[in-house]
Amino acid sequence: MDVRVRTAVLAIGSLLSTSLFLAPAAAAGPGDVVEATPTTVYLAPGRLLEVPVRAWHLRYRSTSATGAATIVSGTLLVPKASYPFGKRPVVGYAVGTHGLGDQCAPSRAMAEGTELELAFMSLMLLKGWAVAVTDYEGLGTPGQHTYMAGRSQGQAVLDSIRAATRTPGANVAAGGPVVIMGYSQGGSSAGWAAQLHSAYAPELKLRGVAAGGVPADLKAVADNLDGGPDFGLAAAAGVGLDAAYPELALENYLTDEGSALFADARDDCVGEIRSKLAGRQLAELTTADVMNRPDWRARLAENRLGGAKPSVPMFVYHGTGDEIIPIAVSRTLRREYCAKGANLLWTSVPAGSHVLGAVEGGPLAIAWLASRVLGLPAISNC
């Protein structure tokens, strides 16, 4: 056999031994797995402290913000021990802001030992739950990340749960209890999953959604960040919405400097985005009042949480000293959900920053979700 042919055959054999591709005919709907590759996740940089679970890097089908079929990546984590109480629960874990470039994807961070939110995921794995973590649309897959496009993010979370039950060899049965958790960008994603569940994925037995530090109103959050040290997060949201809705044509309203800065941000992770755009103002980087244009106002309104009653009980938490997403945004969300008859438990945590809100509220959220998995009644404080 020709050496080149032999090399190609061996390479294909190696690929097939580690990765499972599903035929297109078998993967025709949201949540269907396109590819599942065994992977290893680590708790510490340098690939130290391997997490003792079975894990797969997934590519699965989902739906964009405008209803188009798309493929999203993510990671599925499954405890090695069998679950003794029936079907294994699945949690759709929605991560917070990682950035806009593919190298920032949570799946890559978990494989490299740099994913800080694995601390929360580990608490869930210790309970025997499977954890499905989406990378979101365009983060780790071709195309621009549609950062903060709520419908896209919520659907990616719901489809990651579907994918968990369809991953060959994972032994995660469909029809078991499902919960969802997220903070910051993940809190928005979790909220959207709660609002979309009944129409988009009604077969999922969703029992509760925990959402923290929720940027429910993007316009209010952007106004708060303008000119401050975290203006880059608002700029990233502009880039993400522009990617989700091409008619917004953000580039048409940027100055030369703004165009260069926004273009540079499109492949940066969150730390770089924050540092490069710290202290800037949208007005100095644009040639028009972009956020008050009719097309932008319509899409911002479309991506404002609170417009529909969540289909399941929710736990919403927010730090009193959150400098990025004002707690007033969360209080407004509470009022709107309660007015619609939601089963909502809302609480503030005495955190002095956005990050500390995640640290202090996370364990409370996991405990609340555990009660939902057990089927206990959910108490509302509307």
- Read off the pLDDT band of 4 (50, 70, 90): very low
CATH of 218-301, one of 1.10.260.130, 3.40.50.720, 3.40.50.1980, 1.10.3720.10: 1.10.260.130
Domain parsing of the chain, residue ranges:
218-301
The two three-digit tokens of residue 261, written as one number: 């800065």
pLDDT of 151 > 80? The answer is: yes
Position 28 scores a pLDDT of: 78
- Percent of the chain's residues with pLDDT above 90: 92
Q: Cβ(317)–Cβ(361) under 8 Å? A: yes
Please give the pLDDT value at position 135.
98
pLDDT band at 115 (very low <50, low <70, confident <90, very high): very high
Mean pLDDT of the chain: 93
Q: What are the pLDDT digits (tens) for 223-252?
A: 999 999 999 999 999 999 999 999 999 999
pTM above threshold 0.85: yes
Backbone angles phi, psi at 243, to 5 degrees: -70, -35
